[in-house]
Structure formats: C-alpha cells, structure tokens
Amino acid sequence: MSAAIARRLIAQATGPSAVTIWTWLVTAPIALTVMSGLQYVTGAPLAVVAVATVEHVAVGLLLIVLRLLLTIVPMVTRAEVVIVGFAMIGVLRPLLFLAAGAVLHIPVAAGDLGGRILINVVTTVAMFSLIAVAVQLVRDHVGVYRRLRSAQEASARDAERAAAGVLQLRHSAVDAVLEQLEEVTSDATIQGIHPTEAARLLRGLAEEVVRPASHRIYDEPIVSPGDGAVLDDAADVRPVPPREWLASVFGAMQAAPPLPLAVLFIILVLPFGIWQYGVLFMLPPLVCGFVVLVGGNTAMVPLVRRTPPALRLVVLLAGYGLVGVLLSTTSEFVVRLLGGDPELVWFEAATYWIVGCAVAFVASLTARVRRDQSELEAAIQANISAAAATRSALELERVALARLLHSGVQSELIASALALGSGSGEDASAELRDVVDKIRAELRAPRIEPEAADRIAALVESWGSAIPLRSSIGDIWDRLREPSRAEAVVDAISEGLANAVRHGDGTPVTLEVTPSASHGVAVRVVSGGVLSSARPGIGLRQLAEHGEVALRESAGRVELVVAIP
C-alpha cells in the first residue's frame, strides 16, 4: 500500500463520516459475537441478547459523545482524536458488557479481561474505520454520480435549447420577414398595383421591414443555450433515485484485493488467536488460514469479473461466505491436529464474510468514484466544447442570416423597386409576385458552410463579446484551404477559448494564430488561472489526434499551444 493510498484512507476514516448512525448499526451484529463476550453469559439465549443489546446501546451513547467532541476538536488533531476515541470504545466494550449484566442481574463472567480488551480495541478500530471509509465513499460517489447525471442532462437540455435557438433565429429572420412581405403584397398581387406604387411598396419593405430585421438579428445578443457547466448547488441537481444508484454500484462490484484483504483479516484475528491459544500454538493455523484466504480471494477476482453485473453481488456474498467456511474448516482441522480445542474457530466464517464483503464494497466504490469522476470531467469538458461549438454555430447562423437580409434581400428589394420605378405599364402585380417568390426561394434555400476565415472571425467575435480577449491572426488563410487543417484550427481555437473559460480567473485571454513550419498553423491561447487537473480532457485528446498539444501552467498563467501540421 502506497503512502498516498494510506493517507487517503486515513483521511476518509477520520473525516466527516468518522462517526455516523451507520457506525452503530453495522456493528450491531458484533455485539452478538464472541468478541463481545457472549460466551461468558450464564443463561438462556434471551439473556445473551438482553446483555448484548444494553451493551450496544451504551456504545451508541459513547459514539454520540465522540461525535459531539469532534465538533470542537481542531482539524489538525482530528485524526488522532478519532483513532483514540475508537480505541477507547474498544477498551470499554468488555467493561460495558459486564456492567450490562450487573444492571440486568444476569451473571456475566469477566474471563481474561486483558485479552478481551485487546481483541475489542483492534476490532473496534478496524471496523469503525472501515465503516467510515465506506460511508464517505458512498457520500462522495452519490455527489459525483449526481453531478455526472446532471452533466449528461445539461448536455441534452443545451442541445434542445440550441435547436430551439436556431429555430427561433430562423423564424425571426426568415418566417417573420416572409410573413410581413406576403401580408403587405398579397392585396397588391390580387387587385393589381401601379409600377410606381409597387416600387414605393418594395422600397418601404426594404427600409421598414428587412433592414430593421437584419439589424435586430445582428445587434441583439443571442440567449446562450448553456455554457456546459454543472451547477454545484445541490438544490439545482436532480436527486438520484436510490434504486438507480444501487444498480450502478452493485452492477460494478468487483472482488477485494486478495493480499490486502487476507492481511487485514489476519490482523483482526491475531489478538484473538494469541489470547485463545498462545503465540506458538496459533502460528500453524494462522499460516494455513492465510494461505486459504489468499487462494480463495485470488479465485474470487476472475470469478466476479466474468459474472454478469446483475449477479455480481450474489456471487460476492456467496463467494466470501464460502471462503469463510473454508477458513474455519482449515482452522478447526489444524487446531484439532495440534490437540487444541476448536470451539470458537467458527466465528471466523461469519466475521470473514462481513469483512470480505465490506472490503470488496470499499474497493468497488473507490474504483467507481474514480471512473465516474473521470466521466464527469470528460462530460463537463465535452459540454463546454459543445456549448462553445453551439454558440459559434448560432453566431455563424446569425451573421449569415443578417448578411442575407441586409446584402441579399434588401438589395433585391431596392433593385426591384428601381426597376419597377423606371418601367412602363399600368399593372406591376406579376412583377411584384415574382420578386416575393424570388426572395422566398432565397430565404428558404439551404446555406453553404462558411469558409474557415468566416468561422474563425465569428469565433473571435463571439468569444470577444463574452470574455476580455486579445486576438492576433497571422497570414494563415492559404494554409486553411486544406479542409482537415482548417477544421483542426477552428477546433483548436474553440477548445483553447473554452479551456480559458474553464481554468481562467477573469483576466484577459490572449489568442494567437500564426503560420508554422511545413505549411502548418500554430494556435496559442494564454489565460490567467490554474489547471484543475493534470490529466488532459477529451477535447485535448481529440486535438492531439491532429497535431501536437502542449498544456502547461506557470506563474498563475495557463498556456495551450496546438501545432497543426
């Protein structure tokens, strides 16, 4: 076990989840095992249950006291206080057992009180710590899982909003203009209209309908479909249904690490073995049991991995139960072979089943938290990139529609008005109808993908309206004739500016796009802030497929350089 893993486990065991209701509930079965001293109770099974219940209630009160104490303990000494508190409860457990018997007037023998105290200290510290780690992991994973689901839902919502934004934009630019054109000209095309009046009508449409519409589309800010971020406020994140969360966890269960689990259990039973049999006598059964545990645990790893997700929990429960039975059978055989009394060795089967399943749960949840955290980071990065791409697409659509109305439709109306005004005849309704039909066809026609230069200009203009941006675009346009290179440059700019928002601190962002050797293009984005993760996100990994990517942090500045060949 590395030092980093040890520090993380200690932090989880002694952190906010050190003492919870689960600490008391999960250890309730231990109150009915030999570690609490039930073999020293004289009386019927109900007497044993009564003594154990009173003793465990007293342990619950001690846990409440420890939890209250932790609220005033400085953080620098919290870990020590938690471990000492666990150990003290272990010391008091046998004494509380005796006191419970005295209160209930049930005979309880003291036995080897020193040995019992040692056993309970080791067991209590180990079990309470393991429970604390598990509870903290559950809390961490629920938080990560909720944020992951929120990120995925946010992506879907942003996509819907983007589609709605495009439809709204097209409606205001195309449908609304066409409706007004047809409404104003419908009577004239039916009843007839003099060319001079038709010319005045067309010029009025150009000045009073099309021109304001183009300016409105170009000048008014577009409501962003989303920024790809995930809200931290718990009230804004949809709660995860318990069944969904349980299915996600139990479906990804894996076996516990074979050797650490065997070592942990040997440490747990070592005080009991020494107390029951002595150091020399216990060595053979201890070694044989350790071999059984390592072998059984090792067999569990591929067995669980090959099991369908829906059956993994069942296989884990049954598997560790079987390993526990093999352990107790081996211990009984070795103890009898050495001439000892194996009366109490079968408690190992139940205890190992609990410990094995608990460690497997902790190991599985640890792996699941890491995986979901990685997916969350990828989802957030993908959302940010998608939001930037959507904003850019909306911006391009807006610019294209504004240009179409201003330079296309308005010019067409004015040119037609001039032609009608200089023409002859008494009725220009047919010509007026032709103008409207031509404009309708022009507005309804699919638009061709803009050139790379237009896309880059739209990106710079879009982001420049959202963040303080200094941009410098070199003489790269001939090099963008290659479609794949042009696409990679646009993606690099989008990704770099999205990263600047993600890692930035609000200070100005610098964008430089310059020619590089061998007909390539280099994109450099510099912003204030710090990197939240040393591991590159999915956007950077995709960029790396098309060029060399360097992301580094120095003196409070983050620099992304993408060299595209």
Answer for the pair 182, 412: CB distance below 8 angstroms, yes or no.
Answer: no
Indicate if 552 and 475 belong to the same structural domain: yes
Identify the pLDDT of residue 83.
Answer: 92
For residue 99, tell me if it sits in a domain.
yes
Indicate if 437 and 528 belong to the same structural domain: no
For residue 194, tell me if it sits in a domain.
yes
Of the candidates 184, 189, 218, the residue with the CA atom closest to the CA atom of residue 203: 184
For residue 512, tell me if it sits in a domain.
yes
Conformation bin of residue 529: beta by default, left when phi > 0, alpha when psi is -120 to 50: left
Indicate if 460 and 559 belong to the same structural domain: yes
Beta bridge partners of 564: 521
For residue 270, tell me if it sits in a domain.
no
What would the mean pLDDT of 73-79 be, rounded to a whole number?
89
Indicate if 106 and 160 belong to the same structural domain: no
The CATH number for 490's domain is: 3.30.565.10
466 has a pLDDT exceeding 60: no
Indicate if 79 and 26 belong to the same structural domain: yes
Query: Of 402 and 128, which is predicted with more confidence?
Result: 128
Grade residue 140 by pLDDT with cuts at 50, 70 and 90. confident
* Tens of pLDDT, residues 307-344: 888 888 888 889 888 998 998 888 888 888 888 777 66
What's 523's DSSP letter?
E
Query: Of 115 and 76, which is predicted with more confidence?
Result: 76
1 has a pLDDT exceeding 60: no
| 215-219, 306-310, 404-408: range with highest mean pLDDT | 306-310
- Tell me which of 412, 444, 476 is where a domain ends: 444
Of the candidates 257, 508, 446, 485, the residue with the CA atom closest to the CA atom of residue 360: 257
3-state secondary structure of 516: strand
- Tell me which of 419, 444, 469 is where a domain ends: 444
478 has a pLDDT exceeding 70: yes
Indicate if 510 and 543 belong to the same structural domain: yes
Answer for the pair 480, 486: CB distance below 8 angstroms, yes or no.
Answer: yes
Alpha helices, DSSP H, located in 404-530: 410-421, 429-444, 452-466, 483-503
Among the residue ranges 84-93, 131-140, 156-165, 241-250, the one predicted with the least confidence is: 156-165
- Tell me which of 401, 428, 444 is where a domain ends: 444
Indicate if 20 and 53 belong to the same structural domain: yes
Grade residue 129 by pLDDT with cuts at 50, 70 and 90. confident
Which backbone phi and psi does 2 adopt, to 5 degrees?
-75, 165
Indicate if 486 and 440 belong to the same structural domain: no
For residue 542, tell me if it sits in a domain.
yes
For residue 431, tell me if it sits in a domain.
yes
For residue 531, tell me if it sits in a domain.
yes
For residue 103, tell me if it sits in a domain.
yes
**Tokens 């073999």 correspond to what residue?**
39
Q: What residue type is assigned to position 443 of the chain?
A: L
What lies within 8 Å, CB to CB, of 66 at 6+ separation is 19, 82, 85, 89
Indicate if 43 and 82 belong to the same structural domain: yes
Indicate if 458 and 528 belong to the same structural domain: yes
Count: domains in the chain: 3
For the full predicted model, state whether its pTM sits above 0.75.
Answer: no
Alpha carbon of 420 to those of 192, 408, 437: distances in Å? Answer: 14, 18, 16
Of the candidates 479, 385, 446, 415, the residue with the CA atom closest to the CA atom of residue 159: 385
- Residue 26: in which H helix or E strand, if any? helix 21-26
Answer for the pair 138, 372: CB distance below 8 angstroms, yes or no.
Answer: no
Identify the pLDDT of residue 342.
Answer: 76
Identify the pLDDT of residue 84.
Answer: 92
Among the residue ranges 27-31, 42-46, 374-378, 480-484, the one predicted with the least confidence is: 374-378
Identify the pLDDT of residue 232.
Answer: 45
Indicate if 405 and 483 belong to the same structural domain: no
Grade residue 448 by pLDDT with cuts at 50, 70 and 90. low
Identify the pLDDT of residue 229.
Answer: 47
* Tens of pLDDT, residues 39-53: 777 877 788 888 888
- List the domain range (segments joined by +) for residue 412: 152-222+392-444
What would the mean pLDDT of 162-178 be, rounded to a whole number?
71
Indicate if 158 and 73 belong to the same structural domain: no
What would the mean pLDDT of 459-486 be, rounded to a whole number?
78
